[in-house]
Structure 1
Amino acid sequence: MIPIYKPYMPQNIGVEISEILYSGQLGFGKYGREFENKLQSFIGAEYVLSVSSYNIAMLIVLSTLGLREGDEVIASPVSCLASNQPFAVKGLRVVWVDVNPATGAMCPDDLKSKITKNTKAIFHNHFCGYLGDIESINAICNSFGIPVVDDGIEAFGSQYKGRKLGNLGTDVTVFSFQTVRLPNTIDGGAIVFKDKDLYEKALLIRDYGIDRTIFRSSNGEINPDCDIEVEGYAGLMSELNSYIGTRQMDDINSLLAVQKNNAAIWNDKFTNLDTINSLKITAGCIPNYWVYGTLCKNKTKTIKDFKEQGYYATGVHINNNIYSVFNNNVSLKGVNEFINHFVAVPCGWWFENK
């Protein structure tokens, strides 16, 4: 059966990995900086941080934005649990916003109706690599003076009006490089900041709040005059993970091209069908086609039929508002309709669609 996800790993990297393992330099170093440089070049953004995991990336973002227990954030429940669980960890109050049932993307009108004086940040998830209405969401939040975080957990390489996610004017963008993403660093992630000051604050938070330029005195001992002013995490990516990331970035364009070609074949196959249609794409968006999204009349039957044809189909995620950890099990019409009809089929680099 053709899998819905598959971890990519470049060929012939064993020698370099062995050298790293015995180099005495396993923590963040030259490969970490090289990986960040390649991310900057690919995305077209200056302020990029690589981190040890997507979860750490989200926690760093929450800390960098100064969010505290009890603060209110708005997010979409149509997303990966990994996107929203950090809110529970931080004790934030989550207000769920409805989605457009034709796209799965955050509904601008519903978002606007739910912003209050207590809203501290908006987390705009781009479900399965299909970008939402970024211009409308950003315009609404800018009018209220509220920061927006583009949650690109599955959307690295997705484009909007010719520019890649992370270079679309949003305050912060978060990516995952977990095993089934592109690129994957076995585990890892990245954060992109529009603002230099937030980026520099996040640099400290990524590394326990430490300013490494003054952390040690000339004799190599810890400098007591180096104050720790912000909370922080063990968020630096290792040299091993960073090296794997650099090699994956060498192949990223060709891998995404295969996925785009596979999507074109699915587009043709699902044209003018009564029981299943391609997921509607936001105007100006080119998804990365991490998966290929469809909307079908009978979700259970569609998944079964695809599996019988040798394609592993799935709903991917379930709406997160059902989980008691978020204490907000509100019923949302668009969310319910989308979840009841969305089915993803394989579109990845590992097969040639025919």
Structure 2
Amino acid sequence: MQFIDLAAQQRQQLPDGRTIREAVDARIAGVLNHGRYILGPEVEELEHILAEYVGVKHCIALASGTDALLIALMALGVKAGDEVITTPFSFISTSETIALLGATPVYVDIDPATYNLNSINLEPAISERTKAIIPVSLYGQPADFLAINSIAERHGLPVIEDGAQSFGSEQHGRRSCGLSTIGTTSFFPSKPFGGYGDGGACFTDSSELAERMRRVSRHGQSRRYFHTDIGVNGRIDTLQAAILLGKWPNFAQEVEARSRIGAAYSQKLQSAGIVTTPQLKAGNTSVYAQYTVQVDQRTEVQASLKEMGIPTSVHYPTLLSQQPALRCVNGRARKCWQTPLAQAACERVLSLPMHPWLSDDDQGRVVNALKNALQQTSFASSA
């Protein structure tokens, strides 16, 4: 059994009768034929499709999700000495990009039900140095943007959604990446909408921010060999754009499958009453980038599942506030409010196999194996 079965994706049939592999091959051949490997026509086509899907005016396709976060921060003018409020419970890119600009990540605790930044912890962390807020839409569902945006507006702060894991999900009928000042996502292969290499994007309704992000992603260039900003080489490759376009016709079906499989997992596990399952906040949908439960004695449970042929992963075992690289940022000690709920999650979360092609039989195997693993560890600890 695969944790994420990317090979199975290529065999899926599109509405026109082709497989995804055939559609991707055709798109790649098109790029090889026209030879515009950098900023070819597929890039603009992809940006148009994704902006329309998210429901915003602008999409800037980029080289990675990390680049998307960095370019969003740069476009907002984040610099040394600034602070950016975020969650300590995420992949390092969320904080790494803040630190790269000389700013300081300020961590606030999570909502234990959704694992996303808890808006009630947000306002006390805002200071005169605060330049932006980055909530992460973790595990596939959006953070509480109604509350977060309201607080940010009162303080005149922009909000960047780190939607690397939530592309395709919704909040009160609006899609992830279109819920804040700037939305970012990742097209890493294992993400809900993944390419066959690195990629990412920024989304916004602001024409001014879109133009700035586009310039920053192309070495700060406003016209050929004329540079108005310090920028980076953050543009997406035409080949990756073509691959994503080849996969796009199946994306809606994959979103539906993720929702269905995630709900089935929850129903089976809640009926058994053996673990803490994911909870959807009212008004949210989830694309279940990971299906994550909480267990006691995680190391033992993982080892037992591995013996039964069930792969698992831990997202994430260490808080960003405890990462050695982020303990002191550009000579300034990190700022961290107490985050006991995030710490508790680090110690107990366990992600199970999850992808749109997970069969009901395989899901049953996972659930039964988890039951057995929990029984074994419980018996061993009481012996």
Q: Give the alignment's TM-score, normalised by structure 1.
A: 0.90
Closer, same or farther: CA 342–59 of 1 in aligned 2, 3 Å: same
Q: What CA distance in whole angstroms lies between the structure 2 residues aligned with 1:329 and 1:69?
A: 15
- The structure in which a higher percent of residues are helix is 2
For the pair 1:198 / 2:209, whether they are aligned, the reply is: yes
Flag structure 2 segments of 5+ consecutive residues without an equivalent.
11-19, 328-333, 362-383
* Residue pair 2:134, 2:160 contacting (<8 A) in 1 also: yes
Q: What CA distance in whole angstroms lies between the structure 2 residues aligned with 1:64 and 1:5?
A: 36
Q: What CA distance in whole angstroms lies between the structure 2 residues aligned with 1:335 and 1:228?
A: 42
Give the aligned partner of residue 2 of structure 2. Answer: 2
Aligned residue runs from structure 1 range 78-117, under 5 A: 78-117=89-128
Give the aligned partner of residue 183 of structure 1. Answer: 193
Q: What CA distance in whole angstroms lies between the structure 1 residues aligned with 2:286 and 2:176?
A: 10
Q: What CA distance in whole angstroms lies between the structure 2 residues aligned with 1:16 and 1:247?
A: 6
Q: After TM superposition, where is structure 1 displaced by more than 6 Å over at least 4 residues in a row?
A: none
* Residue pair 2:104, 2:335 contacting (<8 A) in 1 also: no
What is the letter of the counterpart of residue 210 of structure 2? Y
What is the letter of the counterpart of residue 83 of structure 2? E
Identity percentage of aligned residues: 23
Closer, same or farther: CA 306–135 of 1 in aligned 2, 3 Å: farther
Give the aligned partner of residue 345 of structure 1. Answer: 352
For the pair 1:11 / 2:21, whether they are aligned, the reply is: yes
Aligned residue runs from structure 1 range 196-275, under 5 A: 196-212=207-223, 215=224, 227-275=226-274
Q: What CA distance in whole angstroms lies between the structure 1 residues aligned with 2:25 and 2:2?
A: 27
1:350 CA drift (Å): 2.9
Q: What CA distance in whole angstroms lies between the structure 1 residues aligned with 2:305 and 2:153?
A: 43
Q: Which moved more, 1:140-149 or 1:308-317?
A: 308-317
1:108 CA drift (Å): 1.3
Give the aligned partner of residue 290 of structure 1. Answer: 289
Give the aligned partner of residue 330 of structure 2. Answer: none
* Residue pair 2:292, 2:352 contacting (<8 A) in 1 also: yes
* Residue pair 2:140, 2:286 contacting (<8 A) in 1 also: yes
Q: What CA distance in whole angstroms lies between the structure 1 residues aligned with 2:137 and 2:325?
A: 22
What is the letter of the counterpart of residue 171 of structure 1? T
* Residue pair 1:106, 1:125 contacting (<8 A) in 2 also: yes
Q: Which moved more, 1:40-49 or 1:141-150?
A: 40-49
Q: Deviations over 1:80-129 (max 9, x none)?
A: 11222112221211111111222211111211111111111101011121
RMSD: 2.0
Give the aligned partner of residue 160 of structure 1. Answer: 171
* Residue pair 1:100, 1:107 contacting (<8 A) in 2 also: yes
Closer, same or farther: CA 269–192 of 1 in aligned 2, 3 Å: same
Give the aligned partner of residue 173 of structure 1. Answer: 183
Q: Deviations over 1:143-192 (max 9, x none)?
A: 11111111101111111112211222x10110000121132222110001
Q: Secondary structure at the match of 2:131?
A: strand
* Residue pair 1:35, 1:242 contacting (<8 A) in 2 also: yes
1:34 CA drift (Å): 0.8
* Residue pair 2:178, 2:204 contacting (<8 A) in 1 also: no
Q: Which moved more, 1:316-325 or 1:31-40?
A: 316-325
For the pair 1:138 / 2:137, whether they are aligned, the reply is: no
Q: Secondary structure at the match of 1:125?
A: coil
Select 2:56's aligned residue among 36, 45, 61. Answer: 45
Closer, same or farther: CA 351–60 of 1 in aligned 2, 3 Å: same
For the pair 1:335 / 2:342, whether they are aligned, the reply is: yes
* Residue pair 1:138, 1:148 contacting (<8 A) in 2 also: yes
What is the letter of the counterpart of residue 255 of structure 1? E
* Residue pair 2:27, 2:246 contacting (<8 A) in 1 also: no
Aligned residue runs from structure 1 range 20-31, under 5 A: 20-31=31-42
Q: What CA distance in whole angstroms lies between the structure 2 residues aligned with 1:62 and 1:95?
A: 15
Instruction: Kindly tell me the number of residue pairs found equivalent between the two proteins.
Output: 341
Give the aligned partner of residue 325 of structure 2. Answer: 325
Give the aligned partner of residue 66 of structure 1. Answer: 77
1:18 CA drift (Å): 3.4
* Residue pair 1:323, 1:329 contacting (<8 A) in 2 also: no
Q: Secondary structure at the match of 2:48?
A: helix
Flag structure 1 segments of 5+ consecutive residues without an equivalent.
216-221
Q: What CA distance in whole angstroms lies between the structure 2 residues aligned with 1:321 and 1:25?
A: 43
1:272 CA drift (Å): 4.2
Q: Which moved more, 1:269-278 or 1:41-50?
A: 269-278
Q: Deviations over 1:59-100 (max 9, x none)?
A: 211110001112111110111112221122212111111112
* Residue pair 2:81, 2:129 contacting (<8 A) in 1 also: no
Q: Secondary structure at the match of 1:95?
A: strand
1:274 CA drift (Å): 4.1
